[in-house]
Chain A
Amino acid sequence: MPTLIEQARSNKPAAASILPRAIWPLLVGLAIGALMFYVIGPGMGDYPSKIVLIAGINIILAVSLTVVNGFTGQFSMGHAGFMAVGGYVAATITYYGSMKLFGSADPAGGVLSFTGGADKPTALARWGDALFIGSCLMGGVGAAIAGYIVGLPSLRLRGDYLAIVTLGFGEIVRVLLQGTHEQIQPWRVEDALAKPVYELAISLGGPKGFQLLPTYTTLFWVYLFVVVTLIICYRVKNSSTGRAFLSIREDEIAAQAMGVDITKYKVRAFVLAAFFAGVAGGLYAMDIGAINAGDLGFLKSFDIIIMVVLGGMGSISGAALAAIILTILPELLRNPPPVWPVGLVLIALIAGVSSYRKRFRWKPIIVIAIASTLLEVGRQIALSKGINVADFRLILYALLLITMMLVRPQGIFGIHEIWEILPGYARREAARNGARGGSQGGKP
């Protein structure tokens, strides 16, 4: 019988096995990124596609935090801090790099930038996208280094202490970044050219934030990174490193007794997560065209933690789904649509399926009916009084979390992926393992 790690490796689709392991996630990412950029984005209109873009950034953040808080069981509360480090590094390189290379802080073309580059005179100007993506990667590296520096001493701490240290880290990052010098405005390129690099690196706008950044981020880049993040984190989960992460979460002492160097693996999880958070920070800064450390404090970290907790502590697809839901939810709350039709459809489905299976179930139907009614009443009240429900987002999150902890403390999906809990998965898996065992002549 092959070990599970080998099984996980052989789960790849057949077409993928002819491509090197590192290439095909990139190809899938490029394809999905292009699909989002050329087809889905334009088909949706500006406002929805903006939300889809933010959802993508949140997916990267939530999935990467899952590696630390979910797989490894370490409670980090500083993820937004890593996002800030990465975002500022990427913004600095893109902004001042543009001035130095292209003589202007405007977006310098590139095939996939939404500002287009046709009017840019020099060939160099088309390299704007390359500068941008390189700086996002550098942002990731910068955040990863920060992760290593914070992680090495603090990951010897347990539980609450680690939470406090990471919280402190996030705040230190915020204070340091808000203490930087005035940025050199885009119309003063000569000043920027005259200054040495180290001075530019501390002219990041201080408390006003780093503004007027070239906006390179598009659905293409975001979803390329979403796919790469998802695939890498999924692979890590099913590798021996992932096994070490999970064992640390389950029982640190036993993990050590198995030969797991727990500090090394905790730091590894931290560094990996910080890298993706850093990239997400870069995408975020160059989407909005500004980044302000004040927006990336504890509350932002908390938003990401909620996505992880809701999705399930250790489920990649769960975290991604929760990120999507929690990005769309506040938007829906701004102008809440009626939910009772959805409730009706659900009730019809449950009634249909359960009477088909000859086990009619009243309980979920009653729960859904009551919930739909309450939501509709609430919506009518909010509409008639002109209340903006989105302002109560945090209260809603808190209620959501409390309910979650009471009803399903392991999150929606626990450590499982979404497809693993679909009906029939266990049977199909067993059938496949049986077939494989047979073909290898191994014992069951």
Chain B
Amino acid sequence: MPMLEVKGLNVHYGAIHALHGIDIAVEQGQIVTLIGCNGAGKSTTLRTISGLIRPSAGQILFEGKPISGMPAHQIVRLGLAQSPEGRGIFANLTVAENLDMGAFARSDKAQIAKDREHALTLFPRVRERLKQNAGTLSGGEQQMLAMARALMARPRLLLLDEPSLGLAPQIVQTIFKIIREINRDGTTILLVEQNAHMALEVAHHAYVLEVGRIVMADDAKKLAASDEVRKAYLGIG
């Protein structure tokens, strides 16, 4: 049984039909990526999975349990955390307070302290800036903080929405290296990206989303080698 299963998901924003019945499965231990152009519906998919938007039809199963329609604050407690698009950091709180907020849903103090240590080891740049207001961080540092904060929820499934958005190539490299490390430590990841090149390189499995429909789904390496993806998303051939 996949860890996360999305079946026939439909989402409307008023009259706009953003998702037309999409199906996604995320196997435990993997990095699964969802690539697509601007406006394809990637963020909508993630927001619906994490409960920030209610679907108009379809099912979402997390570890076999139906979670569609459940409020976001309960879904976090099931072990599913997200680093939202645009990072959503709390600009007027310090970096340390942002991290504390990541563990808001938890009460196991000893384990929180360990997870914090672990997150700060993964993101040394964040550790250097603990006392600073999060709004004063650079874009790359904010992205790192958003990911570290999501890890503070001790998720079994981590949803990442465009972690490379607007970052310098070198920082993108660092971020993807850390994504791999997080996955190697045992966290399953659903990664949404426009940067298909990097995403297909780290992912095990991949889906291609076009205007609210899944048009391709395969092993990430195979997709990266396919003609359609090379043309449309990698700008090759």
Chain A residues packing against B (C-beta within 8 Å): 1, 3-5, 240, 243-244, 246-247, 250-251, 253-262, 415, 430, 443
Considering the chains assembled together, what is the distance between the CA atoms of A241 and B81 in angstroms? 20
Give the contacting residue for B52; candidates A253, A259, A261; CB below 8 A: A253
Smallest Cβ-Cβ distance to A256: which chain B residue = B72
- Please determine whether A259 and B88 come into contact, CB atoms closer than 8 angstroms: no
Considering the chains assembled together, what is the distance between the CA atoms of A162 and B132 in angstroms? 32
Chain B residues packing against A (C-beta within 8 Å): 50-52, 71-73, 76-77, 81-82, 84, 88-94, 96-97, 100-105, 112-113, 116-117, 130-131, 149, 153
Interface pairs (30), CB distance under 8 Å: A1-B96, A1-B116, A3-B96, A3-B100, A4-B96, A240-B104, A243-B97, A243-B101, A243-B104, A246-B92, A246-B93, A246-B97, A250-B93, A251-B89, A254-B84, A254-B88, A254-B89, A256-B72, A256-B73, A257-B52, A257-B81, A258-B149, A259-B72, A259-B76, A259-B77, A259-B104, A260-B73, A261-B73, A430-B131, A443-B117
Give the contacting residue for B97; candidates A4, A259, A261, A262; CB below 8 A: A4
Smallest CB separation, A432 vs chain B (Å): 13
Considering the chains assembled together, what is the distance between the CA atoms of A256 and B90 in angstroms? 12
- Please determine whether A257 and B97 come into contact, CB atoms closer than 8 angstroms: no
- Please determine whether A258 and B52 come into contact, CB atoms closer than 8 angstroms: no
Residues A261 and B71 in contact in the complex (CB < 8 Å), given A243-B101, A246-B93, A256-B52: yes
Considering the chains assembled together, what is the distance between the CA atoms of A247 and B88 in angstroms? 10
- Please determine whether A247 and B90 come into contact, CB atoms closer than 8 angstroms: yes
Considering the chains assembled together, what is the distance between the CA atoms of A260 and B88 in angstroms? 14
Give the contacting residue for A246; candidates B71, B90, B103, B149; CB below 8 A: B90
Residues A250 and B105 in contact in the complex (CB < 8 Å), given A257-B50, A257-B82: no
Smallest Cβ-Cβ distance to B105: which chain A residue = A259
- Please determine whether A251 and B90 come into contact, CB atoms closer than 8 angstroms: yes
Give chain B residues whose Cβ lies under 8 Å from the Cβ of A256.
Answer: 51-52, 71-73
For the residues of A in contact with B, the DSSP-based class is helix
Considering the chains assembled together, what is the distance between the CA atoms of A415 and B94 in angstroms? 12
Considering the chains assembled together, what is the distance between the CA atoms of A195 and B131 in angstroms? 63
Considering the chains assembled together, what is the distance between the CA atoms of A255 and B84 in angstroms? 11
- Please determine whether A259 and B153 come into contact, CB atoms closer than 8 angstroms: yes
The 9 closest A-B pairs by CB, nearest first: A259-B105, A254-B88, A259-B76, A250-B90, A256-B72, A261-B73, A258-B104, A259-B73, A258-B101
Give chain A residues whose Cβ lies under 8 Å from the Cβ of B112.
Answer: 3
Give chain B residues whose Cβ lies under 8 Å from the Cβ of A240.
Answer: 104
Give chain A residues whose Cβ lies under 8 Å from the Cβ of B116.
Answer: 1, 3
Apart from the given pairs A246-B92, A253-B84, 4 other A-B contacts in the complex at a CB distance below 8 Å: A3-B96, A240-B104, A243-B100, A247-B101
Give chain B residues whose Cβ lies under 8 Å from the Cβ of A262.
Answer: 73
Give chain B residues whose Cβ lies under 8 Å from the Cβ of A251.
Answer: 88-90
Smallest Cβ-Cβ distance to B152: which chain A residue = A258
Residues A5 and B100 in contact in the complex (CB < 8 Å), given A250-B93, A251-B88: yes
Smallest CB separation, A378 vs chain B (Å): 37
Smallest Cβ-Cβ distance to A251: which chain B residue = B88
Considering the chains assembled together, what is the distance between the CA atoms of A443 and B127 in angstroms? 11
Smallest Cβ-Cβ distance to A249: which chain B residue = B92
Considering the chains assembled together, what is the distance between the CA atoms of A261 and B105 in angstroms? 10
Residues A257 and B84 in contact in the complex (CB < 8 Å), given A3-B112, A247-B101, A443-B117: yes
- Please determine whether B104 and A250 come into contact, CB atoms closer than 8 angstroms: no
Considering the chains assembled together, what is the distance between the CA atoms of A244 and B100 in angstroms? 10
Give chain B residues whose Cβ lies under 8 Å from the Cβ of A259.
Answer: 72-73, 76-77, 104-105, 153
Smallest Cβ-Cβ distance to A265: which chain B residue = B73
Considering the chains assembled together, what is the distance between the CA atoms of A261 and B51 in angstroms? 12
Smallest Cβ-Cβ distance to A410: which chain B residue = B92
Considering the chains assembled together, what is the distance between the CA atoms of A4 and B130 in angstroms? 11
Considering the chains assembled together, what is the distance between the CA atoms of A327 and B84 in angstroms? 45
Give chain B residues whose Cβ lies under 8 Å from the Cβ of A1.
Answer: 96, 113, 116, 130
- Please determine whether B105 and A258 come into contact, CB atoms closer than 8 angstroms: yes
Residues A258 and B153 in contact in the complex (CB < 8 Å), given A240-B104, A244-B104: yes
Smallest CB separation, A408 vs chain B (Å): 15
- Please determine whether A247 and B52 come into contact, CB atoms closer than 8 angstroms: no
Q: Most B CB atoms within 10 A — which of A3, A257, A261? A: A257
Give chain B residues whose Cβ lies under 8 Å from the Cβ of A257.
Answer: 50, 52, 72, 76, 81-82, 84, 88
- Please determine whether B91 and A250 come into contact, CB atoms closer than 8 angstroms: yes
Give chain B residues whose Cβ lies under 8 Å from the Cβ of A247.
Answer: 90, 93, 101, 104
Give chain A residues whose Cβ lies under 8 Å from the Cβ of B131.
Answer: 430
Give chain A residues whose Cβ lies under 8 Å from the Cβ of B82.
Answer: 257
Give chain A residues whose Cβ lies under 8 Å from the Cβ of B91.
Answer: 250
Smallest Cβ-Cβ distance to B91: which chain A residue = A250
Give chain A residues whose Cβ lies under 8 Å from the Cβ of B77.
Answer: 259
Considering the chains assembled together, what is the distance between the CA atoms of A262 and B130 in angstroms? 26
Give chain A residues whose Cβ lies under 8 Å from the Cβ of B71.
Answer: 256, 261
- Please determine whether A254 and B90 come into contact, CB atoms closer than 8 angstroms: yes
Considering the chains assembled together, what is the distance between the CA atoms of A259 and B96 in angstroms? 17
Considering the chains assembled together, what is the distance between the CA atoms of A1 and B81 in angstroms? 24
Q: Most A CB atoms within 10 A — which of B76, B84, B88, B105? A: B88
- Please determine whether B84 and A258 come into contact, CB atoms closer than 8 angstroms: no
- Please determine whether B104 and A260 come into contact, CB atoms closer than 8 angstroms: yes
Smallest CB separation, A412 vs chain B (Å): 16
